[in-house]
Homo-oligomer: A and B are copies of this chain.
Amino acid sequence: MSDDSAEEIMEATYRALCEHGYAELTMQRIADESERSKAALHYHYDTKEALLRSFLDYLLERFEQRPAAAEDAAPRERLDTFLEAIFESNTSEGTGFATALLEIKAQAPYNEAYRERLLEWDRAMRGTVADAVREGIETGEFREVDPERVARFVATTINGAHVRQVALEEDLGETRELLEAYLDRTLSPGDPDGGGAPV
């Protein structure tokens, strides 16, 4: 399959997930969003699950190719660029997709291939945060914290924001603001009050 074909199928899958969610997703509905027949999709992917595995790979690849902060950006700016990429999905299309993604997460205990990909995505997110924190400590911009622990806490908060967006219809901005205050407070060096206003 050409890269263009794969990309076209992945985009059709994204639209079908936004519209129908995961449980109601069918190969026919993906075909309806693409320029292909259901038979053509089945030629490349045996099952909906096989297609979804490729789709999760595609998402991870997109995450890894997201617009990066400038080469010489300060560590805090890197963190802000990361948060921007994570929280930008707070649109109505984004909510449909967020719902489908939560359904997929709830499928992970039944589907090892989904779980592996979700773990990989989590590692990528945490790695981005931990690298920026580590660099900030080296340059003296941040205080001496454990980069892995901060990264895990940030990832957990992002996971929580995702559930709250879907289950409680909460605006992602609520969590983003709390998370930024947490980072200010945790990372700021040498503030006698321990890094600005408490959360």
Collect the chain B residues with CB atoms within 8 Å of residue A106's CB: 21-22, 99, 102-103, 105-106, 166-167
Residue A186 CB within 8 A of the other chain: yes
Partner of A198, one of B102, B145, B160, B199: B145
Collect the chain B residues with CB atoms within 8 Å of residue A23's CB: 23
B186 touches A115 (CB 8 A): no
Q: Which residue of B lies closest to A22 (CB)?
A: B106
A199 touches B149 (CB 8 A): yes
User: What distance in Å separates the Cβ of A146 from its nearest Cβ neighbour in chain B?
Assistant: 8
Shortest beta-carbon contacts, A-B, top 8: A194-B194, A160-B160, A156-B160, A159-B160, A105-B167, A102-B106, A145-B198, A159-B163
B198 touches A186 (CB 8 A): yes
B103 touches A167 (CB 8 A): no
Residue A29 CB within 8 A of the other chain: no
Collect the chain B residues with CB atoms within 8 Å of residue A174's CB: 152
Residue A43 CB within 8 A of the other chain: no
Which residues of A are interface residues toward B (Cβ below 8 A)? 21-23, 95, 99, 102-103, 105-106, 108-110, 115, 118-119, 122, 143-146, 149-150, 152-153, 155-164, 166-169, 174-175, 178, 181-182, 185-186, 191-195, 198-199
Partner of A152, one of B21, B144, B178, B193: B178
Contacts A105-B167, A106-B166, A110-B21; A156 near B153 (Cβ below 8 A): no
Collect the chain B residues with CB atoms within 8 Å of residue A162's CB: 163
User: What distance in Å separates the Cβ of A72 from its nearest Cβ neighbour in chain B?
Assistant: 26
If A118-B167, A159-B167 are given as contacts, then 7 extra A-B residue pairs at C-beta distance below 8 Å, sorted by A number, are: A102-B102, A108-B167, A145-B199, A153-B182, A156-B178, A157-B157, A186-B199
